[in-house]
Amino acid sequence: MSPLHPGFLLFATAILVALTRGVWRQLVLLAGTAFALYSAWHLGFDTTLTFAVPGYTLELLRVDALSHVFGLIFSLIAGIGCLYALHVRHGGEHAAALIYAGAALGVVFAGDLITLFVFWELMAVSSLFVIWYGNTARAQAAGLRYLLVHTFGGSLLLCGMLIHVAAGGDLTVQALTANTHGAAFWLILIGVAINAAIPPLHAWLTDAYPEASVSGSVFLSAFTTKTAVYVLIRLFPGAPILLWFGVIMTLYGVVYAVLANDIRNLLAYHIVSQVGYMVAGVGMGNAFALNGSVAHAFCHILYKALLFMGAGSVIYATGKRKSTELGGLARAMPLVLVLYMVGAVSISGFPLFNGFISKSIIISAAAKEHLPIAELLLTLASIGTFLSIGLKLPYFTFFGPDRGLQPHRVRSNMLLAMGMAAVCCAALGVFPNWLYVRLPFDATYHPYTVEHVISSLQLLLGASLGFWWLLPKLRGETAINIDTDWIYRKPLGPAFDLVVSMSRRAGARLEAMRLSLLRSLTPYLRNPFWLFMQFGLPPPLPNGTSQPPMAYNENTYRLPIGATVLWIMVCFSLAVLYLLM
């Protein structure tokens, strides 16, 4: 019996969701995602599923320790996300989210570059519709910008793959090196870096994710950047450039998160920051650091989805999304506050929560590799994370000045999904070995040492004191924070106008040249005798005449219709003979 691909099960679920309504649709959502998780759980290592095409054998499913752990968390979060969105009535939004999740699983289990690229592009297209289901003008515009960026990234990825194959490279998804693969290495790396949101190629994320629906943003937070991390681990382990780009990401995202006023924009910038830890681990390239990247991706998907669900619940209940518009919601939404704080302490690295058992692996790897600057900067970024997500956002949303908001009741399915994610965050923090034994590389780590626990609590306490000291400066205000996309976005309008203006001028000149050429040819086109007269030659005589006519008459020189029919029959006969031979 052929193995069941979890991604294909989600595709089938998407089709059924589009064909059902009401309670039946909800049952399909829950059953389909549960079945996909069951399938991912029971996939044995070295399981394969191939599909033959002319000239190639595509490997649609290849299971090893790395793909299995990513397949588990992607399948789990698809189920939690569908539970959170269970009340959504738009079947198209459910279908787009399921196809998006299925495509991400397709990337993870792809054994060859062609399969990987097809699912990579399917992921981009389906996630675009997830954004557009935000159903606002801002969502439509952000989706268009998202499409342009990912089309560019996909084109670079495809060009790199084609160069790699043309140079005799293997289609198998395996590690690449700059010295061996040259231009293909860099083109593929940049294409993947765009999806990983590595600055300055990250603005699509912070632009688009806050504009999706409250349920759509949960799916967006889980898949695109983490599939990119998976591909980086597969193709570019130990690439030195990734270490320092990852370190920059951790700090860059934290700084902009502290400045953010929109609560989902704040969380989006923290995706950039947290993915930076994973990218840095890939750049270090040893088994210990790579395990850290995998573990942190696993944990990040859970707590980031929980954080987006918490922020989404606030937006759903109040209709407000900015810190300057929120406040005083702790009494009205106590359960949302508690569940959100589980995600906040998880991402901040509190002991007994999953961020504590994953992020510290990467920081410890930097220490083992004797990279003190990287270790220091990664630690500072973790302090900024607690400052903005663990303190700033909950304070101004739940404990700040009361704005007199009267929030609606949050749906029970939303709270249940948040509860499931929160239980997973706490369970992994208490039982880290469940995750550690599933990590793909041979390295061990013990998070609960006295030194690690005490140092973590000291950093968190220091961040708390800093928050209260800086509280007047952290109050949100209406402003525009210019990001790196300004460098290419701001000049784009004038550059486009310049290209259009130059094209118009060039078109006008070509049109003038065309008219001039026609004026020059008009005498001959009207009377072919003109050309003979210019050179003093007698014009050709019609058949059966001895004197040229006084004026040109096309009927005099026209071939009989039989000659035209003859040539057509000759050409047709030659074509038939060629096909028969």
The amino acid sitting at 185 is F
The answer to whether 171 and 113 have CB atoms below 8 angstroms apart is: yes
The answer to whether 292 and 335 have CB atoms below 8 angstroms apart is: no
pLDDT for residue 56:
82
pTM, two decimal places: 0.85
Strand intervals (E) in 119-234: none
Q: Of 146, 166, 186, which closes a domain?
A: 166
pLDDT for residue 480:
67
- Domain match, 267 and 161 both: no
How far apart, in whole angstroms, are the C-alpha atoms of residue 349 and residue 436?
A: 17
237: left (phi over 0), alpha (psi -120 to 50) or beta: beta
| Number of alpha helices (DSSP H) and beta strands (DSSP E) in the chain | 25, 2
Q: Of 128, 147, 166, which closes a domain?
A: 166
pLDDT for residue 484:
72
Query: Is residue 186 included in any domain, yes or no?
Result: no
Neighbouring-strand partners of residue 59: 50
How far apart, in whole angstroms, are the C-alpha atoms of residue 182 and residue 70?
A: 29
How far apart, in whole angstroms, are the C-alpha atoms of residue 101 and residue 402?
A: 39
Neighbouring-strand partners of residue 48: 62
- Domain match, 242 and 151 both: no
What does each of the 581 residues of the chain score in pLDDT, given as a tens digit?
Answer: 567 899 999 999 999 999 999 999 999 999 999 999 999 999 999 888 888 888 788 999 999 999 999 999 999 999 999 999 999 998 999 999 999 999 999 999 999 999 999 999 999 999 999 999 999 999 999 999 999 999 999 999 999 999 999 888 888 999 988 877 789 999 999 999 999 999 988 999 999 999 999 999 999 999 999 999 999 999 999 999 999 999 999 999 998 988 888 999 999 999 999 999 999 999 999 999 999 999 999 999 999 999 999 999 999 999 999 988 888 899 999 999 999 999 999 999 999 999 999 999 999 999 999 999 999 999 999 888 998 898 889 998 998 888 888 888 999 999 999 999 999 999 999 999 999 999 999 988 999 999 889 988 988 888 888 777 777 666 656 666 677 777 777 777 788 788 888 999 999 999 999 889 888 877 666 666 666 666 666 666 665 566 665 566 666 666 677 878 888 889 988 998 888 87
Query: Is residue 497 included in any domain, yes or no?
Result: no
Give a three-class secondary structure readout of 514-549: HHHHHHHHHHHHHCCHHHHHHCCCCCCCCCCCCCCC
- Domain match, 456 and 373 both: yes
Number of domains composing the chain: 2
The answer to whether 360 and 351 have CB atoms below 8 angstroms apart is: no
How far apart, in whole angstroms, are the C-alpha atoms of residue 48 and residue 549?
A: 83
Cα–Cα–Cα angle for 77, 209, 467, rounded to 5 degrees: 90
Query: Is residue 27 included in any domain, yes or no?
Result: yes
How far apart, in whole angstroms, are the C-alpha atoms of residue 493 and residue 476?
A: 30
Query: Is residue 405 included in any domain, yes or no?
Result: yes
How far apart, in whole angstroms, are the C-alpha atoms of residue 63 and residue 47?
A: 5
How far apart, in whole angstroms, are the C-alpha atoms of residue 279 and residue 127?
A: 22
Q: Of 166, 197, 218, which closes a domain?
A: 166
The amino acid sitting at 491 is P
Query: Is residue 37 included in any domain, yes or no?
Result: yes
Query: Is residue 541 included in any domain, yes or no?
Result: no
pLDDT for residue 549:
59
Query: Is residue 132 included in any domain, yes or no?
Result: yes
Question: What dihedral angle (degrees, nearest 10) is formed by the CA atoms of 409, 414, 420, 424?
Answer: -100
- Domain match, 251 and 360 both: yes
Query: Is residue 15 included in any domain, yes or no?
Result: yes
Q: Which domain holds residue 449?
A: 237-479
Neighbouring-strand partners of residue 56: 53
Q: Look at the alpha carbons of 497, 503, 506, 507 in this order and tell me if their dihedral is positive or negative.
A: negative
How far apart, in whole angstroms, are the C-alpha atoms of residue 149 and residue 276?
A: 20
